[in-house]
Amino acid sequence: MSKTLSRTRLFVFVGVFSAMAFLLQMLGSMMGLKVGGFLEIEFSDLPALIIAFAYGPIAGVLCEFIKNLLHCLMTSTGYVGELANFVINGTFCLVAGLVYKLNKSFKGAIISLILATIAMAIAGIFANLYIMLPLYMASAPFEAKMNIVLYTILPFNIVKGMVISVITLLTYKKISPLLHGRI
């Protein structure tokens, strides 16, 4: 396959998977499944993670960026939620894509998803503690913010990372031939 055709295929898949991620995010928002009143349970990171495995970490991060840019058109968070989603889930896709790129095997996928879940949880701690919660809760004491991060956001991100990882492991190899033009 020529380099131009390969690049075009990459752009098409990033666009399609970004649209799927946005639709999954909207579906999750409409279902109203929230933890702690503000953390939404949805599966919009699955397309970004799959595209990161197929085409590399930058493709996954770009998919997260486009998804959140589209969501900015209908935000109710003053863009803070979209920024948090991009930072945290972009980290998830970046780490998973980087590690998987080094070892494209089932074991490599498992290791990449474990490390990505840990990185996402750490990014969630810092992003929420020092950026997101201060924007939402400027007058709240630091201890209150720390409690929200440690007892709500951290467990949520770990569970979310594990669930998305399992779904990715169950689906990626089945659709990989389609993504790489082998069908």
pTM of the shown model: 0.87
What domains, with CATH codes, occur in the chain?
A: 3-179 (1.10.1760.20)
State pLDDT tens for residues 59-72: 999 999 999 898 88
48, 93 Cβ separation under 8 angstroms? yes
Averaged confidence pLDDT in the chain: 86
b/e map 39-54, b = 16+ CB within 10 Å: bbebbbbbbbbbbbbb
**pLDDT, tens digit, 9 for 90 and up, residues 123-155:** 999 998 988 888 877 888 989 999 989 998 899
Alpha-carbon distances of 47 from 2, 20, 23, 30, 43, rounded to whole Å: 25, 7, 11, 19, 8
Backbone angles phi, psi at 2, to 5 degrees: -70, 160
> What six digits make up the tokens of 16?
């399609």
Give the pLDDT of residue 81.
Answer: 76
What whole-number distance in Å separates Cα of residue 69 and Cα of residue 115?
A: 26
Contacts of residue 149, defined as CB under 8 A and 6 or more positions apart, other chains included, come to 124, 125, 128, 129, 133
pLDDT digits (tens, 9 = 90+) for 97-115: 999 999 999 999 999 999 9
Contacts for 29 with CB less than 8 Å, ≥ 6 apart: 40, 42
Question: By three-state DSSP, how is residue 39 classified?
Answer: strand
pLDDT for res 161: 94
